[in-house]
Amino acid sequence: MELIKLTQQDTKYDALIIPFGKAMELAVSIPEGIASSVDAATKAGLFKGESEEIYKLSMLWEDKIVNVVLVGLGEEGKADNRSVFIAFSKAFAACKDLKAKIVRVMLDNAKACAKDYEIAEKICEAAVLANYDFDCYKSEAKINTVEKIEFEASFDRFEEALKEAKICAESTTIARDLINQPPMFMTPAQLAEEAKTIGEKCNMEVLVFHKPDIEELAMNAFLAVGKGSVNTPKLIVMRYFGDRDNKEIIGLVGKGVMYDSGGYSLKPPSSLPTMHGDMSGAAAVIGAMKAIAQMSLKANVVGIIAACENRISGDAYLPGDILKSMAGKYIEMNNSDAEGRLTLADAITYAIREQKADKVIDIATLTGAVITALGNKTAGIISNDDELTKLAEKASRISCEKVWRLPADRELRHVLNSSIADIKNSAMGSSAGGGTILGGLFLQEFVEDKPWLHIDIAGTNWAQEDLPYCIKGGVGFGTSLLYNMIKLSSK
């Protein structure tokens, strides 16, 4: 699908998107026959310009059917990035459903909000994200007819926003592809190959460590999680150095559990079909690293993924096992379904000790408890650093991926105490609650006082139903968030 800025007026389109605020002013030039129909719809009160409101009408014009999609942005000055992003996502999804081939977007009718660079960039991203499909396993795939989206926009830096949007949206859709692929295909080895391919295309160094290398690094907690699978673990390291004059290195650590059965602490059958989505954190890191490299951000970033499968076999680790982590801490493993934090603990240690990361951001489908706390549209964040938290919150507003800070409440930490090891990997049996916080507190034990931020995406990584900006399946949540955190930190 092609995204362009319109450079000359013509009538070669079969869908027209027109955004309106509540003032209902048509400030752009459109053919009289279409304008009169739009005017009739608004005067009849069929469309009022409310935030995220969509109204569709079809008409015969110059011997062809033209579809018009009116988009509501609400009161001027009150629209935020996310509401505008969702509104346009609905409009682009409507054009997809209408089987339009060429879509024209009259962005100049929304100058009050779309002149803002960040909002304009997200509108352009929405065009790609709303048109995403994953149908490579359908014998009769539904054909997406959208070929080109033209933006009529006279804003400063719009071409720059369009370029960035194409890169960021493609990075998110790549993350979606990685998540949506079934576990029979997307193994740790395959994920490593995907990362290497992206690295080659983006001129980025990618290292892949195999089981003997990981054993030499003493990443025993990570290795224990993967013991039950015939698909051996892989440690994937993506290195981008775009600011050689600055010694600061940021480590992005993504949970890469390619399939999570829960191990001997088996998950319920209803959860198992989508457990290939447990590597959504890894997918977000890979997608973000691609965007960071393609946009040539002035930053030094290392993406780290401990990729493995949590399966059941005669070799699988058992609740009650004691694991010695790379950091030297002994972990009483009392719940094999609290496996992500074991892989992340070693990956964080590796980031700090081997890659010399000065700051660490980890992203993971860590706890179901985050859904209870925040629902399925907002990720939970936990941090030991206020500045890193502010950075995440600002990046969240830009990326339209919502986050909410939860406290790293040390009063809860005692429920992870073990009588036979340094720490337990789960507070199973405790009545303290705060499962998401406890997952973060466990990880905090391994950050060695470095500035650290944890993002729990267990509620936001997977869409249970079609959304305006994403079909059912992997969302790619966190790709844009991580990219924008690095972009903001590089300014």
Residues annotated as catalytic are: 267, 341
Distances (CA, A) of 9 to 104, 123, 211, 261: 11, 21, 59, 56
CA 253 to chain centre: 14
In this structure, are residues 166 and 128 in contact, taking their beta carbons and an 8 Å threshold?
yes
AA identity, residue 444: Q
Element (H, E) at 150: strand 148-151
CB atoms < 10 A from the CB of 184, how many? 9
Taking Cα atoms as reference points, which of 151, 132, 107 lies closest to residue 13? 151
Closest CA to 177 of 141, 132, 220, 210: 132
Q: Using the Cα atoms of residue 391, residue 479, residue 211 and residue 264 in order, give the sign of their dihedral.
A: positive
Please, are residues 177 and 277 in contact by the beta-carbon 8 Å criterion?
no
Give the helix ranges, DSSP H, for 259-385.
280-294, 340-353, 369-374
Q: Torsions phi, psi of 69, nearest 5?
A: -115, 115
Tokens of 390: 């502010």
Calculate ∠ Cα 481-353-252, nearest 5°: 10
- CA 288: distance to chain centroid? 8
Strands 300-310 and 234-241: antiparallel
Range 125-149 burial, b when 16+ CB lie within 10 A, else e: bbbbbbbbebeeeeeeeeeeebeeb
What whole-number distance in Å separates Cα of residue 79 and Cα of residue 428?
43
Q: What is the largest CA-CA distance in the chain?
A: 80
